[in-house]
């Protein structure tokens, strides 16, 4: 199936950037958003609220009417925060064209249900799993909007669907790879945000590159442990959606998760750090669901656990550092696990 017209639900930083990616790949794009002011900005070719300074192509239009946005769309990209996916997809479902495919771009787990975004979208839309794909990778929106080259992963049970979507969003600065490991991509995307909060905090406390490299490496270990226990492909975690996204998110002040940790490491409270964030900080929202999921499957996730203690249980950043360093060493045959 050739996709030439898409709807993008969500007019935040990533939704607007992804609409530009699609437009620069030759599609016409109809965006839907709940804020009339942001819709007007997009129709005047700059989303001054979420993506100031970036000219948007004329092939992007925006509306507050979901039916108008979805009319004729062969692909529906869902780019709202995780907490809004169920409601947004549920409202969109009756209006989605018969053969259209759904693409989810949010990264996190739904609190309470501990469900991945793909699963939430499947439940809310009642579409078969093979018509819902997931996009995840090292995709800091601001860099992509500035047309810095990057790659990503489009994962779907149905490889033909993933390939159609990959062809639709491939442009000179955005290169998609195709995978069937939907679960692995989703677990990688949800968990790296939590690790980024810890790494930002370490940086904010003045710790250096060795600490960062340690936390990235051990973060990847705990992410991979959870993913593979749940049935994901271990290879996903050494690819773009795994280590690729982890490194990007844990190394850039453009990341909201990393920046939140950074501010807290420098002394801000959680509330102060959240108030300064330009958008949703999924690592704070997903930390507890990720830990609950890990505990339900008896998977050890010490860095995630330390973040949960800070963002939900009132521990200080200093206590978080102590929690990680004071962990007893575990002997696993000839190996010593330090974190
Ligand atoms: N910004 C980035 O670089 C990237 C973000 N993501 C993920 O994409 C998702 C969205 O992120 P951003 O666009 O950056 O967030 P954002 O905070 O910049 O924008 C969120 C958008 O969703 C809308 N929204 C929130 N609740 C809503 C609801 N109940 N109904 C309808 N619209 C609602 C807001 O009005 C806003 O337009 C998150 O899960 C994020 O982790 C993934 C990759 C890159
Ligand atoms: O997912 C992202 C990059 O791939 C964006 O990360 P933040 O939500 O931390 O900005």
ipTM, interface predicted TM-score of the complex: 0.99
Q: Would the pLDDT of 57 be above 60? A: yes
Query: 242 and 116: one domain?
Result: no
How confident is the model over 120-171, as pLDDT tens digits? 999 999 999 999 999 999 999 999 999 999 999 999 999 999 999 999 999 9
Which residues are identified as catalytic? 192
pLDDT of residue 329: 73
Minimum-distance ligand 1 atom for the alpha carbon of 140: 3
Please, are residues 33 and 11 in contact by the beta-carbon 8 Å criterion? yes
Ligand-binding annotation for 255, yes or no, is yes
Query: Which tokens belong to 166?
Result: 């990959």
State the CATH number of the domain containing residue 120: 3.40.50.720
pLDDT of residue 152: 98
Query: 152 and 295: one domain?
Result: no
Query: 27 and 57: one domain?
Result: yes
Confirm whether 50 is domain-assigned: yes
pLDDT of residue 256: 98
Range of the domain at 53: 5-180
| Cα 14 to averaged position of ligand 1 atoms, centre (Å) | 6
Query: 173 and 219: one domain?
Result: no
Closest CA to 264 of 190, 328, 319: 319
State the CATH number of the domain containing residue 253: 1.10.1040.10
The share of the chain scoring above pLDDT 70, in percent, equals 97
Query: 211 and 267: one domain?
Result: yes
Confirm whether 246 is domain-assigned: yes
Calpha distance 9→12 (Å, rounded): 9
Please, are residues 176 and 154 in contact by the beta-carbon 8 Å criterion? yes
Query: Which tokens belong to 144?
Result: 């992509």
Query: 253 and 291: one domain?
Result: yes
CA torsion angle for 1, 134, 7, 91 (degrees, to 10)?
A: 120
| Cα 109 to averaged position of ligand 1 atoms, centre (Å) | 14
Confirm whether 37 is domain-assigned: yes
Q: What is the CA 291 to chain-centroid distance, rounded?
A: 17
How confident is the model over 249-275, as pLDDT tens digits? 999 999 999 999 999 999 999 999 999
Query: 264 and 325: one domain?
Result: yes
Degrees, nearest 5: CA angle 119-73-9: 55
How confident is the model over 199-222, as pLDDT tens digits? 999 999 999 999 999 999 999 999
- 3-class secondary structure, 59: coil
Query: 28 and 83: one domain?
Result: yes
pLDDT of residue 153: 98
Ligand 1: list residues with CB < 6 Å.
10-15, 33-35, 50, 79-82, 84, 87-88, 105-108, 139-141, 279-280, 282
Q: How many domains does the chain have?
A: 2
pLDDT of residue 69: 98
Confidence of residue 339 (pLDDT cuts 50, 70, 90): very low
DSSP string spanning 268-307?
--HHHHHHT-SS--HHHHHHHHHHHHHHHTT---HHHHHH
By most ligand atoms within 8 Å of CB, the mutation choice from 9, 10, 258 for ligand 1 is 10
Query: 124 and 150: one domain?
Result: yes
């Amino acid at each position: 199936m050739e996709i030439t017209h898409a709807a993008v639900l969500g007019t935040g930083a990533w939704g607007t950037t992804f609409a530009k990616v699609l437009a620069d790949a030759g599609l016409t794009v109809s965006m839907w958003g709940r804020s009339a002011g942001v819709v007007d900005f997009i129709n005047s070719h700059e989303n001054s609220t979420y993506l100031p300074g970036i000219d948007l192509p004329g092939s992007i239009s925006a509306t507050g009417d979901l039916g108008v946005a979805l009319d004729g769309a062969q692909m529906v990209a869902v780019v709202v925060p995780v907490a809004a996916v169920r409601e947004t997809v549920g409202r969109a479902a009756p209006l989605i064209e018969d053969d259209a495919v759904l693409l989810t771009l949010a990264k996190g787990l739904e609190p309470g249900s501990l469900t991945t975004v793909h699963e939430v979208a499947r439940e809310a839309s009642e579409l078969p799993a093979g018509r819902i794909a997931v996009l995840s990778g090292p995709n800091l929106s601001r860099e992509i909007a500035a047309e810095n080259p990057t790659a990503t992963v489009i994962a779907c049970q149905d490889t033909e669907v993933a390939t159609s979507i990959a062809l639709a969003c491939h442009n000179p600065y955005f290169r998609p790879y195709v995978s069937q490991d939907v679960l692995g991509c989703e677990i990688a995307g949800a968990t790296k945000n939590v690790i980024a909060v810890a790494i930002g905090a370490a940086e904010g406390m003045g710790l250096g590159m060795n600490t960062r490299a340690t936390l990235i490496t051990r973060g990847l270990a705990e992410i991979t442990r959870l993913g593979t226990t749940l049935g994901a492909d271990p290879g996903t975690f050494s690819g773009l959606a795994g280590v690729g996204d982890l490194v990007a998110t844990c190394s850039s002040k453009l990341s909201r998760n990393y920046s939140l940790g950074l501010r807290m490491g420098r002394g801000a409270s959680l509330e102060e750090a959240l108030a300064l964030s330009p958008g949703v900080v999924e690592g704070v929202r997903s930390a507890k669901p990720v830990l609950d999921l890990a505990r339900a499957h008896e998977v050890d996730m010490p860095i995630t656990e330390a973040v949960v203690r800070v963002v939900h249980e009132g521990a200080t950043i200093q206590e978080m550092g102590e929690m990680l360093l004071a962990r007893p060493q575990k002997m696993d045959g000839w190996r010593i696990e330090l974190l």
